[in-house]
Amino acid sequence: MKHAATFSAATAGSGGTVGLVPTMGFLHEGHLSLLERARAECDTVVMSLFVNPLQFDREDDLRRYPRDLERDLRLAAAAGADVVFAPEVETMYPEPPLTRVAVATLADHFEGPHRPGHFDGVATVVAKLFAGLRPDRAYFGRKDAQQLAVVRRMASDLSFPLEVVGAPIVREADGLALSSRNVFLDERQRAAALALNRGLASAADAAEAGECRAARLVELVTAALAQELQLDTEYVALASQDTVEPLEKLDRPAFLALAAWAGPTRLIDNVHLDASGDGFAADRGIRLDHPSVLYEGG
């Protein structure tokens, strides 16, 4: 596996179809599942690893974002990556970047208003990775459902000749969606955080049983979250998969999404609801049957 610090080093010698897995590092099985899928579908697998300052709206969040390059290189190699592109900030932004890529309206709701500038930062850095690495496929998890919609629309609007692949959420054995930020949770916060998946799962059951009123689906999630004093709910909402507009009714591919704070740590989760026969089928994600690599010692 090659460890590259520049775009030209990352692309040198790659052949055939190139699969890109963009990450901010501190890998977990969510990232590894993307790498394994890319490995199965592409000739060359490139993982980018860059904690992108442009997409952080809070300085403290950027500062404390977990980082461990040696660990990430080891995990990426084991999952089949051919290249890890891990540039320094000075390489990605040798001058203060004046160029911004913005996807109008898709950032108007949910994560957007709570994280000013976040999606412009995401769209800009992903456009840069697409431009500089020229992948044929790019893999993103459905955990960041709004981000996936923004990236898809950006790639299509700008005519990048690539396929954006969205993959199921990977969950810990008890249902908590994997996130590099999970390592910040203390024991009580960790226990409370299970309400996220519990609420979404009961809403998924209701949706599959024919419930299509957004208010009712949201209520099922809100009720589960309200049982945990350790949690502070930011939003729960049903959104169109493609336009990320709030829906009153489940009548098209959608995701039921939430954000909640467990102490100083912000968590997000969602369940994807896709048309299936006369109704809707939920993507509840994939559950690990073992502890996540997140909790392995150094």
The CA dihedral of 51, 53, 57, 62, to the nearest 10 degrees, is 50
C-alpha span between 5 and 274 (Å, rounded): 39
**What are residue 48's DSSP bridge partners?**
22, 85
Could you tell me which of 269, 256, 198, 258 has the C-alpha nearest to residue 234?
258
Q: In Å, how far from its chain's centre is CA 252?
A: 21
Examine residue 105 and tell whether it contacts its own copies (CB under 8 A): yes
Shortest distance (Å) from residue 249 CB to its own copies: 23
Q: What gap in Å lies between CA 1 and CA 38, rounded to an integer?
A: 15
Which listed residue (32, 46, 127, 254) binds its own copies by CB under 8 A? Answer: 127
Q: Catalytic residue positions?
A: 31
Would you say 26 and 66 are in contact if contact means Cβ atoms under 8 Å apart? yes
Longest C-alpha distance within the chain, in Å?
54
User: Between 45 and 84, how does the x/- string for binding to its own copies read (CB under 8 A)?
Assistant: ----------------------------------------
Piece in contact with its own copies (CB under 8 A), picked from 23-31, 32-40, 157-165, 282-290 = 157-165
Task: For residue 261, give the 3-state DSSP assignment.
Answer: strand
Residue 32 CB, nearest approach to its own copies (Å): 26
Among 16, 161, 277, 298, binds its own copies (CB under 8 A): 161
Q: What is the nearest approach in angstroms of its own copies to the Cβ of residue 205?
A: 34
Which CB sits closer to its own copies, 10 or 256? 10
Size of site (CB under 8 A) for its own copies? 31
Q: Which of 27, 75, 83, 106 binds its own copies (CB under 8 A)?
A: 106
Residues 16 and 38: their CA atoms lie apart, in Å, by: 13
Closer CB to its own copies, 61 or 136, in the complex: 136
Provide Rg for the chain, Cα atoms.
19
Site mask for its own copies (CB under 8 A), range 4-33, x = bound? ---xx--x----------------------
Write out the residues near its own copies by the rule CB under 8 A. Answer: 7-8, 11, 92, 95, 97-106, 123-124, 127-132, 134, 153-154, 157-161
